[in-house]
């Protein structure tokens, strides 16, 4: 690459980094149109109280809680924060918010959109948590599982060479909600579906695509994408 091209690339990356992300929409979402992903229609209802499926759900929680070790419990609690940089374990130590401010802002918006969508579904179904678990929000669907799937889908597109590691970590993150005793398996399964649906809808949004390109350029400038190697 010639010196002139290097300078032009540096200027392009700098301009991209300085460009603000797309503004919030009138609905309060950034990239997600909630009219296009009605979880009350697209997800199955949670198991009916007292049904065989509900009993199986509870038995799975009890088994996971009984089998966990103190070390597993501590690790799952420490790794329960919904933040894209949780995936540094899969991506690498250079994957930090200090190095990647656009990436941090972009995925914070994605997480906020997904969380808002899931909270509306929780309010719709009002499923109680497993016995003794915190009850700030309902159990169905799992917001952590929705975060895991939506973030993994989008991050793996930016870093396809890390796809398997990202999804492996995301699946463990989601499954840990059962081991922690705060969600049923059906909460996690439908939460994963909710995040997948949300990611698909966002990927078709024009503002999302513009910001995705800016984040891709930032990652390339930080030498975190395959194209930069």
pLDDT tens by residue, 160-193: 999 999 999 999 999 999 999 999 999 999 999 9
Q: Which string of b and e fits 194-225 if b means at least 16 CB within 10 Å? A: bbbbbbebbeebebbeebbebbbbbbbbbebb
DSSP state of 27: T
Q: How far apart are CA 11 and CA 17, in angstroms?
A: 10
pLDDT band of residue 17 (cuts 50, 70, 90) is very low
Are 115 and 147 within 8 A, CB to CB? yes
The residue range of the domain holding 202 is 3-228
State the Cα–Cα distance between residues 58 and 181, nearest whole angstrom.
Answer: 10
pTM of the model: 0.87
The enclosing domain of 98 has a CATH number of: 1.20.144.10
Residue 77's CB is within 10 A of a number of other CB atoms, namely 11
pLDDT computed for residue 132 by the predictor: 73
CA geometry: angle 187, 147, 222, nearest 5 deg: 160
Taking a C-beta distance cutoff of 8 angstroms, is the pair 167, 123 a contact? no
Neighbours of 16 (CB within 10 A): 17
Residue 80 has pLDDT above 50, yes or no: yes
Q: In the structure, what pLDDT confidence band is assigned to residue 229 with cuts at 50, 70 and 90?
A: very low
How far is Cα 191 from Cα 197, in angstroms, rounded to an integer? 10
Burial of residue 159 (CB within 10 Å: 0-12, 13-18, 19+) is buried
* C-alpha dihedral (221, 223, 224, 228), degrees to nearest 10: 90
Average pLDDT over residues 66-81: 91
pLDDT, position 27: 79
Residues 87 and 104: their CA atoms lie apart, in Å, by 12
pLDDT of 35-58, one tens digit each? 999 999 999 999 999 999 999 999
Listing DSSP states for 143-181 in one string gives HHHHHHHHHHHHHHHHSGGGHHHHHHHHHHHHHHHHHTT
**Whole-number percent of the chain with pLDDT over 90:** 78
Residue with tokens 């719709």: 124
Q: In Å, what is the CA distance from 66 to each residue of 69, 72, 124, 141, 181?
A: 8, 12, 31, 23, 10
Total count of domains within the chain: 1
């Amino acid at each position: 690459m010639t010196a002139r091209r290097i300078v032009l690339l540096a200027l392009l990356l700098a301009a991209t980094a300085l460009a603000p992300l797309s503004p919030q929409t009138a609905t309060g979402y950034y990239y997600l149109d909630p009219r296009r992903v009605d979880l009350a229609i697209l997800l199955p209802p949670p198991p009916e109280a007292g049904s065989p499926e509900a009993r199986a759900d509870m038995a799975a929680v009890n088994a996971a809680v009984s089998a966990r070790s103190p070390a597993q419990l501590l690790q799952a609690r420490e790794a329960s924060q919904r933040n894209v940089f949780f995936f540094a374990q899969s991506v690498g130590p250079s994957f930090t918010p200090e190095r990647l401010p656009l990436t941090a802002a972009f995925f914070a918006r994605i997480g906020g959109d997904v969380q808002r969508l899931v909270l509306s579904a929780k309010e719709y179904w009002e499923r109680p948590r497993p016995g003794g678990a915190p009850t700030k929000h309902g159990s169905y669907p799992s917001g952590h599982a929705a975060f895991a799937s939506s973030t993994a889908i989008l991050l793996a597109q930016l870093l396809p060479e890390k796809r398997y590691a990202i999804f492996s970590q995301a699946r463990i993150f989601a499954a840990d909600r059962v081991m922690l005793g705060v969600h049923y398996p059906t909460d996690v399964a439908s939460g994963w579906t909710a995040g997948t649906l949300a990611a698909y809808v966002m990927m078709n949004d024009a503002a999302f695509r513009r910001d995705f390109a800016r984040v891709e350029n930032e990652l390339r400038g930080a030498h975190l994408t395959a194209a930069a190697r």
